[in-house]
Structure 1
Amino acid sequence: GFGVSAERPNILLIVSDDHGYADVGFQGCKDIPTPHLDQLAREGVHCTNGYVSHPFCSPTRAGLMTGRYQQRFGHENNPFFDPSDHREGLPMSEMLLPAHLAKAGYVTGWIGKWHLGAAPEFRPENRGFGETFGFIGGGHKYLNWEVNPKVEYTVPIERNGQAVELTEHLTTAFGREAADFVKRHAGSPWFLYLAFNAPHTPHEPTEERLAQFSSI
């Protein structure tokens, strides 16, 4: 991110979910328009030889948040969504990136998908994030909101642990919240972990986006 000082630059960490290596314009894809990602690749550093440390959701995020291989602390599978299960989550022995940055004076925020445990102690607000907005499980519906706190893909979207009502597409909501976070903390060093669940299933585009592919 753009820094407010040489010592404590702002950090925006964006993660997409189940996003194919070749499913972006700057990798040669012609079917899926990705102009903003293409611009980031064009104007930034384009690394073509990077690898995640695990092939699926939660362990990858655990590695990202800890900077360690998942096998080191026993988080090698996706946790089941069960807020009453105090075993299914990123072990509390691990100090996460936002906790380190908070100690260094950063404002810390998480927006999007969590998937590192649903019990209270595993939640993002208890792992170093000062501001939170998103869902705790491994996936969620994008439209046609049917709230059921017992079903993973229909749990309420939460802001700082409190349920909120949404009517817009979930990806749009996450982007809006991210922009608001950046504006809200202008002038202060901040770290924002923006973890989109798109393009992970379910496939629920807006009518406007769907019309772009009406020929299919």
Structure 2
Amino acid sequence: MRQLFIANPKGGCGKTTLATQLAGYYACRGASVALVDHDRQSSALDWVKCRPPATAAITPIAAYEGEKPVNGYDLEVHDMPAACELSELVGPMQHACRLLVPILPSPADIKASVRFLMALNSHERIGELEVRIGLVGNRVRFRTRYFKVLAAFLESVNMPLIANIRDTQNYIRAMDSGTTLFDLPAKRVAADLEQWHPLLEWLEAG
């Protein structure tokens, strides 16, 4: 069983969007997927409930109510809440899991994310479990100043972005309808799918 965690203490940075899209991607490929929602707002579970019958099945797990996924899933995708404690994040982690940190290109988000990354890097369990951490630029507008500031800063501290997801209404529509880009005809969302390739390659590597 593989584990994938989506976390950032800053609210509104797109954690649930990443979690649902990735759960849908692997489910579309035939994997048995548990979407583990740690946030009492239950946005991820609401999305699962909206999924059309013809789409690939995803099992919802309400971790905020104490539910835990049973063994046997190919993948667990954990959608963590804003302002979660490191102990809450690290507690369910298993060896060699992946952690994605979505970051918005804004001053407040950059500062909050850097503090979070520093705390992660100093936590002994992250090293013991050999957690691989990847940063994802989310809701990116590539020509803006703050995107360039974000990318340059992360490069300077040797924490480059592994992928950048553009700001588009396609993700809002997907959340409303319980779908993902990977459920749709590829021609309709070709530009968006292209941006996921680096992230998916990173997840599959090693």
Would you call these one fold, judging by a TM-score over 0.5? no
Range into which the TM-score falls when normalised by the shorter chain: 0.3 to 0.5
TM-score when scaled to structure 2? 0.36
Higher helix residue share: 2
TM-score when scaled to structure 1? 0.34
